Structure 1
Amino acid sequence: MKKGCLFDLDGTLVNSIEDLAFSTNEVLKLHHLPMHDISKYRMFVGNGVKKLMERALGQDHLHLLDECLEEFQQIYRQHCLDHTCPYPGMKELIENLKTKEIKMAVVTNKPHALAIEIVETLFPDTFVAICGQQELYPVKPDPQSTYYALMAMKLDKKDCLFIGDSQVDIDTGYFAVWIL
């Protein structure tokens, strides 16, 4: 039996697409650029905020990237919990794992401080580690944040599952298992 679970955040534990789309569209609006429908954002997310903004801006406006990233951080910080919520059944699953004493961690490409805020608000006192995007290690699928979470959980990779919703998560789980 597995002793631990590593979870992706956005698209796995929580539905955050509406807040991400709103915040990105607000940045685009500030620059008088075309905004995108929420359905388009499902294709933009998964590789971190920088990639999200690159995809939303498009090739013709990448010269605005640094400024837009800064604006996004400010706007999203204020709106990251407006509509973000756990997927149906997720709270029950997490509680069930807790009662079975399964250790859990979050490994996400969401900025670290925001990941902590969202996870601690929606799942208080649940996860051994929350590893968001920060300068200490590259974004997923690079496995470094996963290794950190495993160390915090005091578990070996063979004792854990990596649970996610995207190709980035599949690659992260693959790299974390096979390249150590």
Structure 2
Amino acid sequence: MIIFDLDGTLLNTAKDLEIALNYALRAHNFPEKTEAETLALLGNGIDALVAGALPQGRQNPDFEPVFTTFKTYYSAHLNDYTAPYPGIIPLLQELRRRGVKMGIVSNKFDEGVKALAAKFFGGLIDYAQGVSNTVKKKPAPDAVFALIAAQNAATEPNIYVGDSEVDIETAQNASLPCISVSWGFRTRDALLQHGAQTVIDRPEELLEHI
């Protein structure tokens, strides 16, 4: 089974996240973030994104209002600019043709993960799980284990695919091999610095590792 991260791995969600973040920051009189600053904050969920954009982070008295504004706006604009990275759909189609089970585990809120998975990957992805009150964020391996159990894949070879240091740590915590991708929110060098063992630069390269 192949377990994919979502943002920065299958989907380029950066523009919609940047727009939503700056909308919320403007609404509460905080300075906006550049594209590069926003990218550096991505990977650990939208609460971490908002916290990283504010002075004092979660301790800022305006954290909750800014977060609420962000989530409300982003939920209404999940896919204004979001799209699969080039080569992703053909990759998933080929994996499906080969009978490979596939799932998504994301630090995005669960409703958003399921909505995006249904829109872009309906019929290709077997399972999509985001963060909820009952599912811990990555790098905790809980959601990965839940996915493997739901797909009866415990005795199969399982691979984790992601674009960030959070994904590398998640795979380690789940005792799974990790394939890191360089087309997402982190550079190849950054991934290697965080201990990536295998880095691919194009989606079709994944086929060489299954």
TM-score range, shorter chain: over 0.9
Contact 1:164 1:170 in 2 (8 A): yes
1:68 — aligned with what?
Answer: 66
Equivalences for residues 107-118 of structure 1 within 5 A: 107-118=105-116
Q: Matches of 1:143 and 1:135 in 2, distance apart?
A: 15
For 1:83, the equivalent position in structure 2 comes to 81
In structure 2, C-alpha distance between the alignment counterparts of 1:173 and 1:43, rounded to whole Å:
21
- Listed as ranges, the gaps of 5+ residues in structure 1 are none
* Identity over aligned pairs, percent: 29
Q: CA deviation at 1:17?
A: 0.4
Question: Whose relative contact order is higher, 1 or 2, with alpha carbons under 8 Å and at least 6 apart?
Answer: 1
CA RMSD of aligned residues (A): 1.4
Report the Cα offset of residue 152 of structure 1: 1.4
Counterpart of 1:152 in structure 2: which amino acid? A
Equivalent-residue separation in structure 2 for 1:88 and 1:39 (angstroms): 21
Q: Which has the higher helix share?
A: 1
Answer whether contact 1:80 1:114 (CA < 8 A) is retained. yes
Deviations 1:14-71 (A, max 9, x none): 1000000000100001011100111111100111111100011122772111111111
Cross-structure match for 1:94: 92
Tell me which of 33, 37, 49 is aligned to 2:34: 37
Q: Deviations over 1:89-138 (max 9, x none)?
A: 00000000000000000000000000111111011122221110111121
**Corresponding letter in the other structure for 1:119:** A
1:30 partner letter = A
